[in-house]
Amino acid sequence: MSHVRILFMFLLSVIGSMPAMAEDTLKVAVAANFIAPFEELAQQYETKTGVKVEATFSSSGKLYAQIANGAPYDLFLSADEDRPRKLAAQGLSQTPFVYARGQVVLWTSRKDLFSAKEWQSIVKRADVAKIAVANPETAPYGAAAKQALEQARLWEAVQPRLVFPQDIAQAFQYAITGAVDAGFCSLSSAFTTEGRMGYYLRVPQAPAIIQAACVLTSSPRKDTAAAFADYLRSKEAMAVIMRYGYLK
């Protein structure tokens, strides 16, 4: 009996010592390609205003499904325009705004590929056995990469060598660990510490990925969220975003 009591007290003390969630902590759902710049932005914003920003990173598709089913986020930074637009159409969010334009690159850590001049030449090489394309159905960067491959008339031929990670972050992870020879990633991933150790080629055939964000209607702190949304479009934030390989 006393054991049970001790265990119970222990559990209580654990629960009691957990930090209480601050009232004005912003909960933001962020597309996986935007991890690196967002961490810096959140830090900068917190030092500036004292408002804590807490991010959940995942594929836009997954985040969209969560939000559509009532997930308690204040703000949603998608990797595309469609999903925020759909949320707005359902009355689940306020009017979306564009916060970044992403670019697709083909990234590789294989030293012998560093001399390639065009991404197509890497894709066509017989000794490139595996190429990662984020699931085109749910990851906007994957969809853009697929479009580029189709335009270059390589999509059919490359099928047997394709691997489909769940989001752009996993695509980059496969490429870093050498699990694949090359991966279609976001230009921003090439700007990270790990990214700099590899080599990337731009994929101009892939359309620029217009990334939109929106304040969610269910947010209990819409004013704080709107202030952060304004900050995202400020010159200061734009400078950070562009430093990570996004276009204005």
Partner 1 sequence: MIDLLPLYLSAKLALVTTAILLVIGAALAYPLAFRRFNGKSLCEAFINLPLVLPPTVLGFFLLVLMGPRAAMGRAWQALFGSGLLFTFTALVIASIIYSLPFAVQPMKTAFTRIDKRLIENAYVLGLSPISTFFRVILPNSLGGIAAGAILVFLHTLGEFGVILMVGGSVPGQTKVASIAIYEAVEALRYHDAWVLSALLIPTSYVFLLVSNKVFRSE
What is the SS3 string spanning 59-128? CHHHHHHHHHCCCCCCEEECCCCHHHHHHHHCCCECCCEEEEEECEEEEECCHHHCCCCCHHHHHHCCCC
What is the C-alpha to C-alpha distance for residues 216 and 56, in angstroms, rounded to an integer?
A: 15
Q: At 108, give phi and psi (nearest 5°).
A: -145, 150
Q: Does 132 bind partner 1 (CB under 8 A)?
A: yes
Q: Which is nearer to partner 1, 130 or 222 (CB)?
A: 130
Q: Does 135 bind partner 1 (CB under 8 A)?
A: yes
Q: Does 33 bind partner 1 (CB under 8 A)?
A: no
Under 8 Å between Cβ of 35 and 245: no
Instruction: Give the nearest distance from C-beta 85 to partner 1 in angstroms.
Output: 14
Nearest one of 108, 106, 206 to 148, comparing CA atoms: 206
Q: Does 138 bind partner 1 (CB under 8 A)?
A: yes
Under 8 Å between Cβ of 94 and 214: yes
DSSP annotation of 195 reads: G
Q: Which is nearer to partner 1, 61 or 96 (CB)?
A: 61
Beta strands in 150-243 (DSSP E): 162-163, 182-186, 199-202, 209-215
Q: How many residues form the binding site for partner 1 (CB under 8 A)?
A: 21
Residues 184-203: x where in contact with partner 1 by CB under 8 A, - otherwise, as a string: --------------------
SS3 call for 201: strand
Q: Which is nearer to partner 1, 93 or 138 (CB)?
A: 138
Q: Which is nearer to partner 1, 180 or 203 (CB)?
A: 180
Interaction residues for partner 1, span 151-180 (CB under 8 A)? 162-166, 174, 177-180
Instruction: Give the nearest distance from C-beta 164 to partner 1 in angstroms.
Output: 4
- Using CB under 8 A, which of the segments 13-21, 131-139, 222-230, 233-241 binds partner 1? 131-139
Q: Which is nearer to partner 1, 45 or 141 (CB)?
A: 141
Q: Does 129 bind partner 1 (CB under 8 A)?
A: yes
Q: Does 210 bind partner 1 (CB under 8 A)?
A: no
Q: Which is nearer to partner 1, 77 or 180 (CB)?
A: 180
The residues, any chain, with a CB within 8 Å of residue 228's CB and separated by 6 or more, are: 26, 28, 45, 51, 53, 75
Residues at the interface with partner 1 (CB under 8 A): 59, 61-62, 64-65, 129-130, 132, 135, 137-138, 162-166, 174, 177-180
